[in-house]
Amino acid sequence: MKKANFNLKKSLLMLITLTLTVALCACAGDKNNDNEGTSSDVTSQAEPVYGGSVVVGVQQEFDSLDPHLATAAGTKEVLFNIFEGLVKADADGNVVPAVASKYEISDDFLTYTFTLRDGVKFHNGNAVTAEDVKYSLERCAGILDGTPLIKALSVIKEVNIVDQSTVDVVLKQPDTELISYLTAAIIPAGYDEQATAPVGTGPFKFVSYTPQEGLVVEKNEDYYVEGIPYLDEVTFKICSDSDAAMLELKGGTIDVFSHLTSEQANELSTDFNIESNGQNLVQGLFLNNAEAPFDNEDVRKAVNYAISNEEIISFVSGDEGYALGSCMTPGLSDYYEDLSDAYKQDIGKAKELLAKAGYPDGFDMTITVPASYQFHMDTAQIIVEQLKAVGINATIEPIEWSAWLSDVYTDRKFQSTVIGLAGQLAPGYLIARFETNAHNNFINFSDAEFDEVCAKVSTTTDQKVKIENYKRMQEILSEKAASVFIQDPPLLVAINKKLAGYKAYPIYVTDMASLYFTE
């Protein structure tokens, strides 16, 4: 097991700590210019061959093809290939210019000024304009109809077109983390068919989508970054379950498949290249704090003491996961506080707390798990066995992904669930969801001090204070045993040995632009 220190990268921390005007520049729109600073920097493992098609296995149905409405991390990781924001994440965890060629942030963090990149086209052939940028950001921020589609962007007061190459984003209050959320997709102004025929600026264009089967994209010949993508076509094939995916991998009908368990990776290692890296994800046994018996803090603490993170990590992650104790990952090293030892397995302590809470003989509970994720299913199986030692009888309820999204995530009709919460480049992305009134606070956690600290962290521009506040938020989640935070697991990916150029990201991304055949 690792309790380590890996970085989501220095640029994020630099962006947040800057108190003077910042300007970042990437390549201009001319395809002949150097592309340093974009996600096109591919480390060649062999001479690339242009052309060809690949099939990527994905574990869940897409909840929306509209990039501003998509909720599931598994959807966003695919849409990354179709859409881009003013900025985007690169494989090193840096925020780099995309639709914009550069940006500046005012000293007071109230105005973000973007210079649009020349020559960027939508997939329908139209050039990206300042009006498109204004529309996209206003749509996300809720300025158009009063309903923010991306909560973090509701801080935007107005979007002003300075000229056809320059846009000012003016905020209601200072926000040092906003740049990380401006990866939000730029779409054509007034275009309302994203859910059926999405149009973006990314390296691949939408071709077709068949529910329960998959999504097909093709090469964007007008992509502004020279030389990519290499592939002509990519099919993201929805796999009904892990067993079906393994059969297809072995049969050669799937070329790439991620989120493997260590056992699956070992089984495939002879015939596939296996990539492994951290993924800035919090896997946990998430407890519904509004549902008995988990509305009782002592019960939640008892469950924490009953579970061994180390045993789970050893079994499903091959000792390569990072033990966690709250909802922040080691990749955000400046903000991260290691609380993984807060609830070392202690069966006696767990039984004492259960007796104190009125459950001396334990109780029955249900763990709802999306069936397509073998990693989470295996984790749940271990938890079931661990809980038996303290008298808790847990039953696993496998559920389809669409049902998990509606029943668990949206309607909050569950007792407990094993799932992974995917992080982004902003430190607040994972942890701010536990504010009492947050729309994505699906575990119904509520704590007055947490809400107060969360409000402070969102407005301060003092880096020291921001770090202190984020660490206090982690401590509160641990002290109140909001859930059982297990690990940041490794991302294990099986890749056809004829393919090269794969890029590992510290966030939930499947980047197909850099992948190519070697023969």
Residue 62 domain-assigned?
no
What's the sign of the alpha-carbon dihedral 346, 348, 352, 355? positive
Domain total for the chain? 3
Which structure tokens are listed for 144? Answer: 């158009």
* Domain CATH code at residue 324: 3.10.105.10
Q: What is the pLDDT confidence band of residue 424, given thresholds at 50, 70 and 90?
A: confident
Which of 279 and 431 is assigned the larger pLDDT?
A: 431
Q: Are residues 415 and 317 in the same domain?
A: yes
Determine, yes or no, domain membership for 150. Answer: yes
329, part of any domain: yes
Please check whether residues 94 and 211 belong to one and the same domain.
no
- Rounded-to-integer distance, Cα 224 and Cα 56, Å: 24
Q: What phi-psi label fits residue 210: left (phi over 0), alpha (psi between -120 and 50 degrees) or beta? A: beta
**Do residues 227 and 253 both lie within one domain?**
yes
Residue 16 lies in a domain: no
Tell whether 350 and 452 lie within a shared domain: yes
Instruction: Read off the pLDDT of each residue in 332-350 and give the average, rounded to a whole number.
Output: 95
Mean pLDDT, residues 93-105: 94
Percent over 70 (pLDDT), the chain: 91
Residues 107 and 119 in one domain: yes
> 229 and 104 in one domain?
no
User: At 160, which CATH number?
Assistant: 3.90.76.10
Residues 228 and 342 placed together within one structural domain of the fold: no
CA nearest to 150, candidates 120, 122, 125, 187: 187
Question: 259 and 365 share a domain?
Answer: no
Whether 286 and 268 map to the same domain: the answer is: no
Of 450, 458, 462, 427, residue with least CA distance to 330: 427
Task: Verify that 173 and 268 share a domain, yes or no.
Answer: no
Report yes or no on 43 lying in a domain.
Answer: no
Residue 449 within a domain: yes
The reported pLDDT for the residue numbered 16 is 40
* pLDDT, tens only, 28-78: 333 333 333 333 333 445 789 999 999 999 988 899 999 999 988 889 999
The pLDDT assigned to 45 comes to 54
Length of the chain equals 519
pTM of the model: 0.82
Three-state secondary structure of 322-364: EECCCCCCCCCCCCCCCCCCCCCCCHHHHHHHHHHCCCCCCCE
444 burial via Cβ count (<10 Å: 0-12, 13-18, 19+): middle
CATH of the domain at 253: 3.40.190.10
Task: Please tell me whether residues 344 and 464 are part of one structural domain.
Answer: yes
| % of the chain residues with pLDDT over 90 | 75
**Count of beta carbons in the 10 Å neighbourhood of residue 30:** 12
- Residue 171 sits in which domain range? 83-181
Q: Are residues 323 and 466 in the same domain?
A: yes
Predicted local distance difference test score (pLDDT) of residue 1: 56
> CA dist 291 to 360, 433, 468, 483, Å?
19, 18, 31, 13
Residue 77 resides in a domain: no
Angle, helices 347-356/297-306, rounded to nearest 10 degrees: 160
Q: According to the model, what pLDDT value does residue 235 have?
A: 98
Assess if residue 199 is contained within a domain. no
> How does DSSP classify residue 151?
G
